[in-house]
Amino acid sequence: MDSEDDLLQKCITSAMPKQR
Amino acid sequence: PTPPYLKWAESLHSLLDDQDGIHLFRTFLKQEECGDLLDFWFACSGFRKLEANEGNEEKKVKLAKAIYKKYILDNNGIVSRQIKPATKSFIKDCVMKLHIDPAMFDQAQTEIQTMMEDNTYPLFLKSDIYLEYT
């Protein structure tokens, strides 16, 4: 299981646009 | 075609829809010591997008707690200071009672977004960092 920080970081990244 | 950096000036959403725009805006916010505003905004979007299958339930609880702890619990944090007390207690309630809902951070996200639209986003468009980029 990911640490809280990893989980949060993945969550933030998942919401970002992938490419222009 | 319109260069991307001109699009960024159209709205906060145009800016947050572009990887380079996000990168530059984050650099600006970090300089102003409020990078957490942007991370929180994306964390809320990411949380809402988590799929509602069963294996995810544990992950959702953990993530909701992580968002709450990092951005909302500390009343002196930049994000926490911009969120209304009623919104904070609503989120606290959800976390404590494990009422985890995809929309539980929506109101807080809106409040942070309004604050960025009224404040940090217009400042960014006037900042050296943006002007130099253009």
Over its length of 134 residues, how does chain B's per-residue pLDDT go in tens digits?
A: 889 999 999 999 999 999 999 999 999 999 999 999 999 999 999 999 987 666 688 889 999 999 999 999 999 999 999 999 999 999 999 999 999 999 999 999 999 999 999 999 999 999 999 999 99
- CA-nearest residue to A7 within chain B is B63
Q: Give chain B positions within 8 Å (CB) of A6.
A: none
- CA-nearest residue to B68 within chain A is A8
Task: Determine contact, residues B112/B40, Cβ cutoff 8 Å.
Answer: yes
State whether residue A3 sits within 8 Å of chain B by CB. no
* Local structure of B2: helix, strand or coil: coil
If we measure between CA atoms, which residue out of B108, B119, B56 comes closest to residue B83? B108
Q: Which helix (H) or strand (E) holds B4?
A: helix B4-7
State whether residue B69 sits within 8 Å of chain A by CB. yes
Query: What ipTM goes with this model?
Result: 0.90
CB distance A19–B19 less than 8 Å? yes
Give me the helix-helix angle, B85-96 and B106-115, nearest 10°. 150
CB distance A14–B46 less than 8 Å? yes
* Local structure of B126: helix, strand or coil: coil
